[in-house]
Amino acid sequence: MESFFSTISLLNPYWIYGVLFVLAYIENIFPPSPSDVMLVFGGSLVGMGKIAFVPALLSSTAGSTLGFVTMYIVGDWFGLAIIEKKKIGFLPLEAIHKVEAWFQRYGYWIIVANRFMSGTRAVISFFAGMSELRLGKTTVLCFASALVWNVILLYAGTLLGENWRSIGDYLSLYSRWITGILIGAATVWLVVWLNRRRKSP
């Protein structure tokens, strides 16, 4: 990673904006991506005058939004087929449909919080599409969420400067905590739902 970031810092600014876009896009498709750390590093480059803040913000936010929309389309087109064919075998089909109904009710609020829930972004966008939330509203909310999160990371990088690496451990810890909490909450919900289902006549 160190050599990767060193190589990026030597690129033309337009290429750096392109890398920010691509990494932000990929993270929504394949979640284990260093896009958040890259944004902090991008902020340090802003502080050193290598790139400009606004283009870095717009390129990364566009990548995040387009990646989200891509997974939304996958969920919209193929989500039900994947579920009906029981590709997610460890979850009961009824439970998945219950999640879908719950998502239809609260999905827009989840999308607003989407960028702050690292590690779950691809899942959220997939279920947003499968639940057939309105694409226009979903895109606007996703863009707004990504914009705020990216501002925070880029600004943190400008403040840290050459010490930008220090935030990597905190982002990793934050991601693990958020993912753990969400998985724990989902597990508790599933257990409670299954127990109620068994007890119901």
Query: In the predicted model, what is the mean pLDDT of the chain?
Result: 76
What pLDDT is attached to residue 123?
A: 77
**Number of structural domains found in the chain:** 1
Distance, in Å, from the CA atom of 37 to the CA atom of 164, rounded to the nearest integer, reads 9
Measured distance CA(10)–CA(34) in Å, rounded: 18
- For the entire predicted model, the pTM comes to 0.73
Q: Which of 158, 172, 141 is nearest to 64 (CA)?
A: 141
pLDDT-based confidence at residue 52 (cuts at 50, 70, 90): very high
**Radius of gyration of the chain measured on its C-alpha atoms:** 19
Q: What confidence category does residue 193 fall into, taking pLDDT thresholds of 50, 70 and 90?
A: very low
Instruction: Identify the residue with better confidence: 179 or 49.
Output: 49
Per-residue pLDDT, 128: 83
The whole-number pLDDT of residue 99 equals: 61
Domain that holds residue 188: 2-199
Task: Give the 3-state secondary structure of residue 69.
Answer: helix
The predicted structure's pLDDT at residue 124:
80
Chain segment 13-51, per-residue pLDDT in tens: 999 999 999 999 988 887 666 678 888 888 889 988 899
In sequence order, what are the residues at sequence separation of 6 or more whose Cβ sits closer than 8 angstroms to the Cβ of residue 23? Answer: 33, 34, 35, 38, 60, 63
Mean per-residue pLDDT, 53-78: 92
Is the per-residue pLDDT at 137 higher than 70?
yes
